[in-house]
Structure 1
Amino acid sequence: MTTTVLIVDDDELVRIGLRAIIDAQPDLTVVGEAADGAEVPPLVARFRPDVVLMDVRMPAIDGIQATRHLLATVAEPPRVLVVTTFENDEYVYDALRAGASGFLLKRARPTEVVEAVRVVARSDSLLFPAAIRRLATAYGPSGGCDGLRRARLTEREAEVLRLMAVGLSNSEIAAELVVGVETVKTHVGNVLAKLGARDRTQAVIAAYESGFVTPAAG
């Protein structure tokens, strides 16, 4: 099964480089390119990509605005992987809070680029959990667990959320809890539904921001 990708970056050389890396993989293909966030909705409607590689900083409509608009207006929107120069960047955290499923550094090696696209497309594990933890430490507001209390997670669902936050995949969580992978998928689905989260990245950020999972312990 081929994963389709839309590349959004105002730097043509970056787009060319990413296209070459992605199209070299038998299971990945680039279906379109854009130079600004304003071009994203019509291209997504036209090509229905699985993943959008979105530059976080663009001169007109930046990646944060574009991500927020895309997720709010497109039915069954693609996963968004924001591309950034600096890992510890408030723009990156804002993009994740807006709905992006992960981020990728522009200096990433080709193998890291393709693996990031695959991880985000599968959505069965958290991309760069340690980096998300650092971002939550730097930019995530602290607070009580009211949001998680209202979600009324079961004890097992709470346990699954904590394991998601440290970056374990569904199969790794299954091994940790000595249950089947399908059981874990059910628990993850319940966690996302109760938190109103689109994917595990959003669920983990909600867990950090509520204080349910602390950056020091995550």
Structure 2
Amino acid sequence: MIRVLLADDDALVRATLRALLAAEPGCAVVGEADNGHRTVAAARSLRPDVVLMDVRMPGHDGLHATREITAWAPPRPRVLVLTTFDLDDVVDDAIASGADGFLLKRATPDELVAAVRTVAAGHALLAPEITRRLLRSLAARPRPPGLPAPLTPRESAVLHGLAAGLSNAEIAAAHHLSPETVKSHIKSILAKLGVRDRTQAAVWAHRSGFARER
């Protein structure tokens, strides 16, 4: 059972999300909050698996709450930011705050449920409609430090796939690998890059210029 905490200052949005998730097998809404302070308090007491976090809330906003929650020692709730705003600075702030996923409120019900399951499973997620735009914009920013350890040719291929926004299954199919092998390569890539998840690895690939190399 995936336990979900809803954080949004709009009661109608919370009611809609609650109804949607209540109808989904294996999901349960265990609490609601309408600002960042109450979200942090509820997350601490209820210990949900996933917090569906709005960005713009009165007072202590969703990004402040995200930073607090993601700073907790594991196991901690996973944070899926759900917002109407797809501006670059909002996305950047959400990633910098440690959010495990970023989804727009115009996502379909199926996309929302899939995102909750993805984040609950420990994977990172970025809304498909903004992934490529965001990563292209990051390519123009200052280059980060080089690799502390070289990537193998197969790891390089997998990282190019991550930079292109491909899923594990798509990378596996493109290179005739099993999904388990792709997961193993991604784990090694994260360790070598010194990043937390596949989203940060893709960001690194674009900012460093790696994504343009072949």
What is the percent sequence identity of the aligned residues?
Answer: 51
TM-score, normalisation: structure 1: 0.84
Structure 2 stretches of 5 or more lacking a match?
A: none
Deviations 1:73-128 (A, max 9, x none): 24232322111112234212210232212222223332222122223333557443
Unaligned runs of 5+ in 1: none
CA–CA distance in structure 2, aligned partners of residues 193 and 108 of structure 1: 32
2:69 & 2:89 partners in 1: Cα distance? Answer: 20
Which AA in structure 1 matches 2:133? Answer: R
1:163 CA drift (Å) = 0.8
Over 4 Å off, 4+ runs: 123-126, 138-141
Contact 2:70 2:78 in 1 (8 A): no
Is 1:102 matched with 2:101?
yes
**Alignment partner for residue 200 of structure 2, among 180, 199, 202?**
202
- Match in the other structure for 2:86: 87
| d(CA) in 2 for partners of 1:128, 1:148 | 28
> Once superposed, what is the RMSD of the aligned Cα atoms?
2.5
Q: TM (normalized to structure 2)?
A: 0.85
- Amino acid across the alignment from 1:119: T
Matching of residue 156 in structure 1 with residue 154 in structure 2: yes
Matched position secondary structure for 1:10: coil
| Cα distance, 1:32–1:211 mapped onto 2, change above 3 Å | farther
Instruction: Tell whether 2:187 aligns with 1:189.
Output: yes
Deviation, 1:130, is 4.7
Aligned amino acid, residue 200 of structure 1: R
Change beyond 3 A, Cα 1:148–1:77: farther
Per-residue CA distance 1:49-92 (angstroms, 9 max, x = gap): 22211111122222222212211224232322111112234212
CA 1:36–1:126: 2 relative to 1, 3 Å: closer
- 1-structure distance, mates of 2:156, 2:82: 31
Question: In 2, distance between residues paired with 1:125 and 1:37?
Answer: 22
